[in-house]
Amino acid sequence: MRKLIAGNWKMNGLASSLAEIEALRGLTGEATCDIVVFPPLTLVEKAVERALGSAISVGAQDCHAEFAGAYTGDISAAMLAEIGARFVIVGHSERRSSYLEADCAVAAKAAAAHRAGLTSIICVGETRQQRDEGKAIEVVRAQLEGSIPDCTTSTNTAIAYEPVWAIGTGLVPSIAEIEEVHAAIRHVLEERLKRDGTLVRILYGGSVKAANAAAIFGVPNVDGALVGGASLKASEFSDIISAVA
């Protein structure tokens, strides 16, 4: 399976950061994996222009579940598609915790993304407390079952396993822990989507750096990465991309 390496800039970046897209173009050339960058919404359209004709796609970090309406401050998936976004992240743990986004809300956003022709990256992951209580697999399974809409296919969806305690902390689960959760995610996908479930890309996210990327990419059922902090600088992000065999 062709790996997918995604860079989530979160709420970082002014117009000057678009230079990182151009630098990334130069550093990645004919990449052997799919690359997608998620700048803040203000930069999406310009990032699409800068990435044109390269191996880099551009996505947004969230969308609303409705096509249009009285939702002040929100942006629909159709609006994102219109400005050239091809992907959207839904259910990132920062949105689940800050905006109390429930699994059903995440599923509705993913369905809206698919209707607009976008690929959703649906995020799931346990807290430190849930892992310490031995509930990581149970929590991730339940989140996934509730967050993937009926219209999910291997072409319109990727899953990101992001343990909350690993995001932005420098902490990373052991290889065995990553393998166990990714296998459980694959199992749920196969239960729901049958054979197509074997083709859905499952990304690992949480403190991925150039130093640990190759080991993580070697884990069964790890089909790429969702990278936060280390995606902000093209040089660092391209080192992670280079770790794809």
Q: Which residues bind ligand PEP (CB under 6 A)?
A: 8, 10, 162, 167-168, 205-208, 226-230
Q: How far is the CB of 166 from ligand PEP (least distance, A)?
A: 6
Contact between 129 and 165 (Cβ < 8 Å)? no
Q: How far is the CB of 11 from ligand PEP (least distance, A)?
A: 11
Considering the complex, state which of residue 78 and residue 172 has its C-beta at the smaller distance from ligand PEP.
172
Residue 92 falls in the annotated catalytic set: yes
For the chain, state the CA radius of gyration: 17
Distance between CA atoms of 28 and 241, rounded to whole angstroms? Answer: 8
Q: How far is the CB of 70 from ligand PEP (least distance, A)?
A: 30
Considering the complex, state which of residue 21 and residue 232 has its C-beta at the smaller distance from ligand PEP.
232
Q: How far is the CB of 205 from ligand PEP (least distance, A)?
A: 4
Distance between CA atoms of 192 and 116, rounded to whole angstroms? Answer: 22
The tokens describing 236, both together, are 């660092």
Q: How far is the CB of 238 from ligand PEP (least distance, A)?
A: 15
Which of 64, 92, 114, 182 is labelled catalytic?
Answer: 92
Which of 20, 94, 126, 162 is labelled catalytic?
Answer: 162
Which residue in the shown chain puts its C-beta closest to ligand PEP?
228
Residue 162 falls in the annotated catalytic set: yes
Considering the complex, state which of residue 140 and residue 226 has its C-beta at the smaller distance from ligand PEP.
226
Residues noted as catalytic: 92, 162
